[in-house]
């Protein structure tokens, strides 16, 4: 069997005040004909990164509405996760080689995980490229319906990587992408759903944290809560551009000398490159004591991330590729103004000048951050619009509704 992941129970009814009874009733009605449907989610890691974050809420909510939903993760060694991280980079467009030995490693671990697979399901949702070969190696056994869910930005892939993965992806009759632009050449699906990811407004990270509590928490990490704080929360990854964030902060510092920067990142078990990129970021920060680089090994977990987002004056997400960017959603939900890279799923969330600002360069990023830090009224205006936009578009309930609709379409109910 693949490794099961247990989740804390959640109740749909608890979300009625935030999401509204109408949406909850729609979910209950959609769920009724799917009662007891066996749904298995498979991905590469139970912790760190957006997919784990989503499944932690979606799976228990599916259970609460009567579905027999579960979550399992595949196993792999460092070699495998080095290949899958390179694949993640290649599929997002990085120029790097894909050797026969890398391909063989990926195939070997997908075959090994297929050998360990057990059970019979109505729907299996395979998340991202790491386990994408399972359906092929299981020769379609295990589920009546398979769905491949792509969370990454595959709008400009390195062709070597796309061409390798496409035949495996193409074995799936059903797929979910975040944006239509991400569906590359050579794949066709009977059912293709475009569904954006979402956040759980009641998770420990997103439930309201009083500002004073959040400020006290960040103070325990050496931040001065009485001085301006700019934060980026992200894995240490080239596409998140932490070095560009430091460069933008340095420009801001020239006109606002008090400003502090926090770079908060988790080290995911399927991301071996994280340590290398963390070192690079630390070197780039040099001896500046106003740059705080923190991660889960400093005890910064979900709640603390929520505190950083709540207590920041401005949040940056200066990605150069971004499947969606849950960290953007999380900050918008807290009513904090976000300056984000104009790429991938970020413009779905940041309506430029309405819910935040979109930027293409370090200089633009610095300009917008300065403008916001000098204008608290503007921060409040953008933050209020941002929170409402997330409430009406990007909550787990929207995700649940969209999944249920897709299950019904696939099953012909
Ligand atoms: N995250 C976290 N701790 C950290 C850094 C990130 O809990 O130190 C979470 C973050 O709050 C978000 C997710 O990991 O929920 C990252 O998702 P996103 O879509 O932004 O990026 P990904 O890592 O999937 O590329």
Tokens representing 350 are 């940041």
Q: Please write the tens of the pLDDT for every residue from 205-251.
A: 999 999 999 999 999 999 999 999 999 999 999 999 999 999 999 99
Q: Please write the tens of the pLDDT for every residue from 319-342.
A: 999 999 999 999 999 999 999 999
Tokens representing 88 are 């993640």
Provide φ and ψ at 188, rounded to 5°.
-145, 140
Give domain limits for the chain.
3-198+395-411, 211-393
211-393 and 3-198+395-411 share a CATH fold: yes
Helix (H) or strand (E) holding 72: strand 68-73
Determine the pLDDT at residue 49: 81
One CATH from 3.40.50.2000, 3.30.260.10, 3.90.79.10, 3.40.1190.20 for 211-393:
3.40.50.2000
- Ligand 1 touching residue 265 (CB < 6 A): yes
Q: Which residue's CA is the nearest one to ligand 1's atom 17?
A: 50
Ligand 1 pocket test: pick from 217, 323, 327, 349 the residue with the most ligand atoms within 8 Å of its Cβ. 327
C-alpha closest to that of 345 among 153, 90, 128: 153
Residues with Cβ within 8 Å of 151's Cβ and at least 6 positions away in sequence, in order, are: 50, 51, 127, 128, 178, 197, 323, 324
Distances (CA, A) of 70 to 3, 42, 161, 360: 11, 9, 30, 40
C-alpha closest to that of 196 among 132, 153, 240, 239: 153
Q: CB 387: neighbour CB atoms within 10 A?
A: 17
Task: Provide the pLDDT confidence category of residue 140 given band limits of 50, 70 and 90.
Answer: confident
- Ligand 1 touching residue 266 (CB < 6 A): yes
- What is the average per-residue pLDDT within 364-377? 98
Is residue 303 within 8 Å of 220, Cβ to Cβ? Answer: no
Q: What is the DSSP letter of 395?
A: B
| Alpha-carbon span 230 to 259, nearest angstrom | 7
Q: Among 141-145, 269-273, 289-293, 306-310, which stretch is predicted with the lowest mean pLDDT?
A: 269-273
- Distance from the alpha carbon of residue 349 to the mean position of ligand 1, in angstroms: 16
- What is the average per-residue pLDDT within 255-267? 95
- Distance from the alpha carbon of residue 234 to the mean position of ligand 1, in angstroms: 6
- Ligand 1 touching residue 235 (CB < 6 A): yes
- What is the average per-residue pLDDT within 278-286? 97
Which ligand 1 atom minimizes the distance to the CA of 328?
Answer: 20
Q: Among 17-26, 224-233, 296-305, 347-356, which stretch is predicted with the lowest mean pLDDT?
A: 296-305
What secondary structure does DSSP assign to 223-236, as a single string? --TTS-EEEEE--S
- What is the average per-residue pLDDT within 384-407? 98
Task: Provide the pLDDT confidence category of residue 409 given band limits of 50, 70 and 90.
Answer: very high
3-198+395-411 placed in CATH 3.30.530.20: no
pLDDT of residue 270 exceeding 90: no
Q: Please write the tens of the pLDDT for every residue from 43-96.
A: 999 988 899 999 999 999 999 999 999 999 999 999 999 999 999 999 999 999
Q: What is the DSSP letter of 155?
A: S
- Ligand 1 touching residue 92 (CB < 6 A): no
Tell me whether residue 268 is exposed, middle or buried, using C-beta atoms within 10 angstroms of its C-beta: 0 to 12, 13 to 18, 19 or more. Answer: buried
Is residue 50 within 8 Å of 326, Cβ to Cβ? Answer: yes
- Distance from the alpha carbon of residue 202 to the mean position of ligand 1, in angstroms: 16
Q: Please write the tens of the pLDDT for every residue from 167-181.
A: 999 999 999 999 999
Buried b or exposed e, range 17-51, using 16+ CB within 10 angstroms: eebeeebbebbeebbeebeebbbbbbbbbbbbbbb
């Amino acid at each position: 069997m693949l490794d099961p992941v247990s989740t804390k129970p959640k109740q749909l009814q608890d979300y009625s005040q935030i999401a509204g009874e109408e949406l909850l009733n729609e979910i209950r009605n959609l769920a009724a004909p799917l009662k007891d449907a066996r749904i298995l989610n498979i991905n590469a890691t139970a912790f760190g990164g957006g997919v784990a974050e989503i499944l932690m809420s979606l799976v228990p909510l599916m259970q609460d509405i009567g579905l027999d939903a579960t979550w399992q993760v595949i196993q792999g060694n460092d070699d495998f996760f080095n290949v899958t991280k390179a694949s993640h980079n290649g599929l997002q467009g990085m120029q790097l080689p894909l050797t026969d030995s890398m391909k063989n490693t990926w195939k070997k671990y997908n075959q090994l995980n297929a050998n360990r697979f057990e059970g019979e399901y109505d729907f299996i949702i395979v998340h991202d490229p790491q386990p994408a070969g399972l359906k092929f190696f299981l020769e379609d056994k295990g589920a009546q319906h398979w769905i491949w869910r792509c969370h990454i930005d595959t709008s400009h892939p390195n062709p070597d990587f796309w061409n390798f993965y496409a035949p495996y992806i193409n074995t799936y009759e059903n797929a979910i992408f975040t944006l239509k632009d991400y569906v590359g050449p050579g794949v066709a699906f009977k059912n293709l759903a475009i569904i954006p990811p979402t956040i759980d407004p009641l998770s420990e990270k997103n439930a309201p944290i009083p500002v004073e509590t959040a400020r006290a928490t960040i103070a325990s990490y050496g931040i001065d809560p009485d001085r301006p704080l700019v934060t980026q929360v992200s894995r240490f990854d080239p596409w998140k551009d932490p070095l560009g964030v430091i460069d933008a902060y340095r420009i801001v510092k020239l006109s606002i000398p008090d400003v502090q920067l926090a770079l908060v990142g988790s080290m995911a078990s399927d991301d071996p490159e994280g340590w290398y990129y963390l070192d690079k970021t630390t070197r780039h920060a040099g001896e500046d004591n106003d740059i705080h680089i923190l991660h889960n090994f400093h005890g910064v977990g979900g709640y603390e991330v929520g505190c950083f987002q709540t207590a920041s004056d401005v949040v940056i997400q200066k990605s150069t590729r971004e499947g969606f960017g849950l960290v953007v959603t999380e900050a918008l939900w807290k009513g904090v103004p976000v300056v984000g890279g104009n790429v991938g799923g970020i413009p779905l969330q940041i309506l430029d000048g309405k819910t935040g600002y979109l930027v293409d360069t370090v200089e633009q990023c610095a300009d917008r951050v300065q403008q916001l830090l000098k204008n608290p009224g503007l921060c409040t205006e953008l933050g209020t619009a941002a929170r409402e936009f997330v409430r009406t578009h990007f909550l787990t309930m929207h995700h649940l509704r969209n999944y249920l609709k897709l299950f019904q379409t696939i099953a012909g109910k």
